[in-house]
Structure 1
Amino acid sequence: MEYIDRRRSLPCDHGRRWLSFETLAPSPSWGLRHMRTKSAVRLVLFPAALLLSLASIPSDRAPHALRTSDAYAAVDPKADKNYDLASLETLRKSIVQIKDNYVDPSRINPKEMFTSGLEAVERQVAEVMVEFGGQGCSEQGAHKEPGIAATAAADCGHANPNLPEGKVRVTVGNATREFDYRDVDNIWQIPLKMRDVFTFIKDNLVTQNQDQREIEYAAINGMLSTLDPHSWLLKPELYKEMKVQTRGEFGGLGFVISMIDDRLTVRKVLRNTPAFRAGIRKGDVITQIDNDSTVSMELQEAVDRMRGKPGTKVSIYVVRKTQETKKLDLVRALITYETVTSKLLDQGVGYVRLSGFSGTTHREMLGAIKAMKAQNGGSLKGLVLDLRGNPGGLLEQAIQVSDAFLEEGTIVTTVGVNGTLREPKLARNDGGEREFPLAVLISSDSASASEIVAGALKNLNRAVIVGRTSFGKGSVQVLYDFKDKDSGEESALKLTIAQYLTPGDLSIQEVGITPDIELVPARILKERIDLFAPPKTFREADYDKHFFNSFARDEEQAKAARERAVQKPFETLRFLKEETAKERKTREAIEAGQAPEEDDSDDPSDEDGVTLDYQIEFCRDLVAQAATSTNRQEQLRQAKPCAPTRSPTTTSSTAGSSSSGNWARRRSGPGRYR
């Protein structure tokens, strides 16, 4: 997930910021996120930006019925303070942005968007049932991308052969009405037809206690699902949390919380924070905030109650195993959202792990490198930059991180609708961290902004890339925020508006960043040894309706583009990896089709928050033996003779050392920072 500040180079769009985000760069267990887990954990992994409002769009760019004044006139605030479902205020604004800015207009199918929006409403509201005229799935296959198994068409389960083609029957409770959508042949017709349907739904709903905004949000996300996997609407509570994590700083207490077994549980305590100084520990349960019990309290409500202006007070009641409840009176402080972890390794090599790209990441990274230099006598012999599991973040931060290690060249280029609006981002020749060898660790869930960093440092020959092929998300999104005129809350449309290219105009869409040295784990289980155990990963190419490499328009073009883009590693090494008790439980749960429990009890991180695994040690030795070379090609030539000796599966001596290289997947612990 990256953001591009567009105001500097495209003044016609000032007031808006671009972002390309893997908002959801899935981990290997991505498919399990939709299961009901024992620990109801919510973690936001993507950032946000303030963007263009509908009011700044010239009114002659949309039909009269969609102009801003008309959208607001649908509800008279003096006559009715309640939300009017039929006004479709957010949907109308979304339609305008899709029409004006969506990267691939050929994907916009008004009828499909309309029907998918109604299907989503049916899933959201139990009283609503929709049926579409047609013969179902037997006569028309579902849309699918290359490499994706065929799936049922979106409306297969809703087809009614007794209805004429182009008709939809909507049932709300005991009321039924048919609507003709054959005239929905352009995108402007969608809100006009939706207004008729939503008026019928609103008039016939029996239960009125549901927030009707949720119905509109569901319809919008149903429509967006027909475009691509990264365009969707963020509801106000999600957008609010996203903006907090984007800034990288907030007023709070300094710990991460989750709902585990319906109890508000501390997952992690940050050093030098009010929570740390008060003695709060991982595993503590918060039973009360000020005068209110946390029983049945929503996680977001608990978050909001404990956050606040630095210097203000809050009381929490904490219970620990075998101990009585203790009241703690705390004063909120400015908390930095941690995205940087560092440690000085043996041989004078520095280690920096970036878990994301927030507004403070570049500054924190430079501070960490400076501290390690001072600890090592003023310089480093090399640096390991760990981007494994990094789902992305602010693009400007990714550019600054890359620029810190580069002298010249194009870091990334964004390309807008139909290959237009090219905007290169160049190294500024002021990066101060160019005197030491650099190795970058990536994994299959390194996505978006982290792929921009890895791609820039690889293609500009600054760093050796080590690990596994990355996620493969090369698209760019923008967030447009929509403020509700009654509640004042903001939702945001995340819309794909461009692709990005790594140096050399190379698209990594679908294919990802190929490591120079591929490290493949061999898994040791009680009952067997999996020599070439493939990780269970979900990557960009596994999404239905994902974009093709280089945004090719058909399968033939896509195949040719992928063949041009796919690279082979310079070397592939395999290493032994013993399975921990936690990993065994996770594997067994996955194999049984269940979601693994959240459990940090055997977290092997040291006091610096760093787990020294085989891959880190490999990179440490790689840069240590590279002398002073900062050129990737030279480092690879030097690495060739030493690589076999570092492969635990090729020699008995290194195989025996696999325990010291105990490979534990590093991930961001789920939870919310307080």
Structure 2
Amino acid sequence: MEVKMKRKNGIKIVILTIVMILIVGGGISGKVNERRETYKYIGLFSKVLSLVKSNYIKEVKTRDLIYGALKGMMKTLDPYSQFMDPETYREMQIETEGKFEGLGISIWIRDGQLTVVSPIEGTPAYEIGIQAGDRIVKIDGESTKDITLQDAVKKMRGKKGTSVVLTIEREGIDEPLEFTIVRGVIIVKSIPYSFLTEDKIGYIRIREFKKSAGKNLEIALKELEKEGMQGLILDLRNNHGGLLNEAVEVCDKFLPKNSLIVSTEGRISSQNLKYLSSEVPHPDYPLVVLINKGSASASEVVAGAIQDYGRGTIIGEKSFGKARVQSVLTLEDGSGLRLTTAYYLTPKGRNIDEKGIDPDIEVKLPTLPKIVSKIASKGYFRGFSQKYLLIHPDVNKEFRVKLAYLDEFSLFLKEKKFDLKEKEWKSATPEIKRELRIAITRQALGERIAYEITRDGDIQFQKAVEVIKEELSHRTLAQAGK
């Protein structure tokens, strides 16, 4: 009897806390009818909770019931608002620091489907060939229909060395692809690499807007400017976003002081904010920002501001279209709430949520042939490159994939019982050679050098170089005419 009384008291304390929170909110609003309705439904909630505790076939913990109800409450809002139990909240905090264990993909619910916003470079998901826009239809054989983001993350995250099977639907490919991905330690650097081309055009890759992204960009810019940079390519492709204040700090480098960078618009006045540039910008050299359908949120803040002011040229593909500001609130028991509180608007007042940013110059990357996607989904490019480097460890910047290496690779695939069709193999030879070169040089020389020496196959990068050269030429002619 004593035990039952303690449980009931526990329920009362929890319910009272919820009632107090909601009553205070109602008092502030001054809407008497809303306050009465709050009392009514809190009473209903309390009644159902009590009935479940007293009559359900199994004994259940009050905490589990309350947490389940709170998760259900968030599901009535939008796919992005969520209640996080203490464990999930701690994982989210660790992830924002840039190190965690898992696959290395950002996911979202789009049109009711679990969708990859972008894979993170250098991670298991990226290296096996997961792409922005892929629809995850199964996780370990279980359908993702009606799955929540929180549940999807839990299913995909796990200890290093364990594996998960994702079944993917991809635009341009008729049948689903199955990827077996071994989880790893994910370390995310905001700016993994930068370099200067022989034409004195700088390239900076911003992978994610983590803490210190603005500070790291400043360091990279100063180094490139010291080397004589005449134009800049800022690569935001597959950058799913991050911290808004870091995106603002990035814009600070390129826009005049006191320029409006982004504004937020919410239901309550305290969410209506304006973010202005506060620094003296870097020199006005030609600027190109690369985006694709994996560029989202904070990436779109940067691209939108640069585009609205005409400070640079946006090249690539339409961005993802996420313009929702989410506030993360810590609750007293260690749990957390991620709540959509506002939309953000570009300097010209554009709300690009669910619309995305259209590039000034559209350059679509070609769809990889089906055979290439299938080889990648099995991890065979990476597997062969590891085997190759054991025999040929002296790979350098001049490395090219010769026909003899292709023969070795086809034998490797046959050993793996891969269904190799000669016609498909021959038609996809250029793409297979490129993917092999990328995989081998990445493992032998690292990400930066691998991209630097394979960028000739990146048509979006090449278009950016062309645009910057044209701009430099126009400026030279204009200067000569003065």
Quickly name the TM-score band, shorter chain normalised: 0.5 to 0.7
- Residue 225 (structure 1) aligns with: 75
* 1:509 and 2:358 aligned: no
- Residue 85 (structure 2) aligns with: 235
RMSD: 4.5
1:341 to 189, 192, 202: 192
Indicate the SS of the match to 1:424: strand
Q: How many angstroms apart in 2 are the aligned matches of 1:101 and 1:379?
A: 58
* Amino acid corresponding to residue 623 of structure 1 in structure 2: I
Indicate the SS of the match to 1:625: helix
Q: How many angstroms apart in 2 are the aligned matches of 1:517 and 1:79?
A: 67
Indicate the SS of the match to 1:627: helix
C-alpha displacement of 1:97: 9.5
* 1:87 and 2:7 aligned: no
Q: Map 1:327-366 to 2 at 5 A.
A: 337-344=188-195, 345-366=197-218
* Amino acid corresponding to residue 297 of structure 2 in structure 1: S
* Cα 1:343–1:101 shift into 2, 3 Å: farther
- Residue 281 (structure 2) aligns with: 431
* Cα 1:257–1:300 shift into 2, 3 Å: closer
Superposed CA offset, 1:540-579 (max 9, x none)? xxxxxxxxxxxxxxxxxxxxxxxxxxxxxxxxxxxx5542
* Amino acid corresponding to residue 502 of structure 1 in structure 2: T
C-alpha displacement of 1:244: 2.1
Q: Map 1:254-273 to 2 at 5 A.
A: none
1:473 to 322, 338, 353: 322
Ranked by relative contact order (alpha carbons within 8 Å, sequence separation 6 or more), the top structure is 1
C-alpha displacement of 1:217: 2.5
- Residue 618 (structure 1) aligns with: 463
Structure 2: gaps of 5 or more residues: 105-118, 129-154, 161-185, 383-434
- Residue 579 (structure 1) aligns with: 369
* Cα 1:509–1:414 shift into 2, 3 Å: same
2:364 to 517, 520, 526: 520
* 1:440 and 2:284 aligned: no
Indicate the SS of the match to 1:462: coil
C-alpha displacement of 1:456: 0.6
Contact 2:194/2:205 (8 A) holds in 1: no
* Amino acid corresponding to residue 339 of structure 1 in structure 2: S
C-alpha displacement of 1:199: 1.8
Superposed CA offset, 1:347-391 (max 9, x none)? 2222222222111211222223334445xxx22122211212222
Matched residue count: 340
- Residue 140 (structure 2) aligns with: none
Q: Identity of paired residues, percent?
A: 29
- Residue 311 (structure 2) aligns with: 462
Indicate the SS of the match to 1:479: strand
C-alpha displacement of 1:341: 2.5
Q: How many angstroms apart in 2 are the aligned matches of 1:245 and 1:381?
A: 36
C-alpha displacement of 1:451: 0.8
2:49 to 195, 198, 213: 198
Q: Map 1:506-655 to 2 at 5 A.
A: 506-521=350-365, 576-579=366-369, 581-584=371-374, 601=382, 604=438, 606=442, 607-609=446-448, 610=451, 612=455, 613-627=458-472
Q: How many angstroms apart in 2 are the aligned matches of 1:625 and 1:361?
A: 30
- Residue 482 (structure 1) aligns with: 331
Superposed CA offset, 1:13-47 (max 9, x none)? xxxxxxxxxxxxxxxxxxxxxxxxxxxxxxxxxxx
C-alpha displacement of 1:628: 7.7
- Residue 245 (structure 1) aligns with: 95
Contact 2:202/2:231 (8 A) holds in 1: yes
Structure 1: gaps of 5 or more residues: 1-75, 103-109, 111-183, 259-266, 271-281, 284-297, 304-334, 485-489, 522-575, 587-595, 635-674
Contact 1:443/1:469 (8 A) holds in 2: yes
* Cα 1:223–1:442 shift into 2, 3 Å: same
* Amino acid corresponding to residue 246 of structure 1 in structure 2: T
* Amino acid corresponding to residue 213 of structure 1 in structure 2: R
Superposed CA offset, 1:247-271 (max 9, x none)? 44x7x9xx8778xxxxxxxx9999x
Indicate the SS of the match to 2:219: helix
C-alpha displacement of 1:342: 2.3
* 1:407 and 2:259 aligned: no
- Residue 238 (structure 2) aligns with: 389
Q: How many angstroms apart in 2 are the aligned matches of 1:577 and 1:300?
A: 28
- Residue 342 (structure 2) aligns with: 498
Q: Map 1:38-437 to 2 at 5 A.
A: 84=11, 87-88=14-15, 186-208=37-59, 212-248=62-98, 302=159, 337-344=188-195, 345-374=197-226, 378-408=227-257, 409-417=259-267, 422-432=272-282, 434-437=283-286
Indicate the SS of the match to 1:457: helix
TM-score by length of 1: 0.43
Indicate the SS of the match to 2:91: helix
* Cα 1:397–1:268 shift into 2, 3 Å: closer
